[in-house]
Amino acid sequence: MATTSIKEQVYQELSRVTHAISNPKRMELIDVLSQKDYSVEELSKEIAMSIASTSQHLQVLKSAKLIDKQRQGNFIIYSITDDSVLRLVFAVKELGFRKIAEIERLIRDFKTDKNILESITLDDLLIRSKKEKIILIDVRPEEEYKAGHIPNALSIPLEQLQKRLNELPQNKTIVAYCRGPLCVMAADAIKLLNEKKYKAIRMEDGYVEWKLKRQEKSKN
């Protein structure tokens, strides 16, 4: 019993995984990388942090095997190692969103602030789309859409929405989604669409949530 037991060593190693996600910025990095692979420079902009610090956080994530890297020309591109990382982050959010009162309050404030009166989930979308014809739009950057999107979704990045309004029918319900519950893009899209008298609602879930849900269903 002089040496640490194997059990303790395993817990020690496991805590490297949890330590890696125990920092807000690193969690945000994983969230961004869940949408699409990115370079250090792009990630640094996305999480509003110096390149050196971003790189340092990426090292931590890499050593915990949560992300991989790969050179592409001048850039080094980081990516999520596999879907078990998505499931881990999903489990954290599932717990946090439901149980931490402070988070519930923040999300409520967020919705009030963005004037999000109505929003639906993936399940709601499925049910509604059986009753009526729904136009589903993906307002994330086109690159993220290309990397993967919900079937039948139309790619209309937020910054192009104003110009491309004519592609959308006034008489049908439009559902917009982006990166997920914490992302503002879909909310901004809804605001614009509502001003232009479209019938538009936000979906909180994004592509990653859809992907995880689909996997779960196909497993049984």
Partner DNA sequence: AATCTATTCAATTATTTTGTTGAATAGTTG
Partner DNA sequence: CAACTATTCAACAAAATAATTGAATAGATT
- 161 binding its own copies? (CB under 8 A): no
**In degrees to the nearest 10, what's the CA dihedral of 7, 11, 13, 14?**
130
Token couple for 137: 């739009």
- Please list, in sequence order, all residues whose beta carbon lies within 8 angstroms of the beta carbon of residue 14, skipping any fewer than 6 positions away: none
Token couple for 5: 């037991």
Q: Which of 46, 62, 110, 173 binds its own copies (CB under 8 A)?
A: 110
36-70 b/e with 16+ CB inside 10 Å = b?
bbbbbebbbebbebeeeebbebbebbeebebbebe
**Amino acid, single-letter form, for residue 71:** R
Q: How far apart are CA 165 and CA 170, in angstroms?
A: 9
When the beta carbons of 7 and 197 are compared against DNA, the nearer one is 7
Q: Shortest approach of its own copies to residue 157 CB, angstroms?
A: 19
- 127 binding its own copies? (CB under 8 A): no
Give the x-and-dash track for 36-75 against its own copies (CB under 8 A).
Answer: ----------------------------xxx---------
- The active-site residue out of 27, 86, 178, 200 is 178
Partner that binds at residue 102, options DNA, its own copies, none, CB closer than 5 to 8 Å by kind: its own copies
- 197 binding its own copies? (CB under 8 A): no
At what angle are helices 51-63 and 24-35 packed, to 10 degrees? 80
Does the annotation mark 183 as catalytic?
no
Positions that interact with DNA (CB under 7 A): 19, 22-23, 25, 39-41, 49-53, 55-60, 69, 71, 73-77
Positions that interact with its own copies (CB under 8 A): 6-19, 21-25, 27-28, 64-66, 81-82, 84-85, 87-88, 90-96, 98-100, 102-103, 106-107, 109-110, 113, 182, 184, 216-217, 219-220
